[in-house]
Amino acid sequence: MGSKTKERKEEKMNEENLREQINELIKDEIQDVINDYVDTVEDQSHGGLGFVRTDDESELKVNISNKEIDKIIKEYKKIKKRERSNISHIKKLGLLDKNGNPL
């Protein structure tokens, strides 16, 4: 297998891994919001405010379009590319020019 083919395969695997990580982050964030909502509803039902809890819907399904995931991946790649640039490395070093201004 050629080195270019191997690099493409690794890049595709990295993108798939990144997509999975983004999906997990989104699921975690949604779960946190759901948990907060459930806690709020439970507090209100115990507080005697007259709210009735329904257990009809036992599962929440959320559809996230692949276009949105692709936008996130594209933005992530831009950020990572900027971080790998020479200018970024110079800024991290905190180098100064002859007048004492940051480069």
pLDDT in tens, 48-66: 444 444 554 556 666 778 8
Q: pTM for this one? A: 0.45
pLDDT in tens, 65-79: 888 888 888 888 898
Measured at the CA of 87, the angle between CA 82 and CA 93, to 5 degrees, comes to 110
Q: Torsions phi, psi of 96, nearest 5?
A: -120, 150
Which alpha helices (DSSP H) does the chain contain, by range? 3-46, 66-84, 86-93
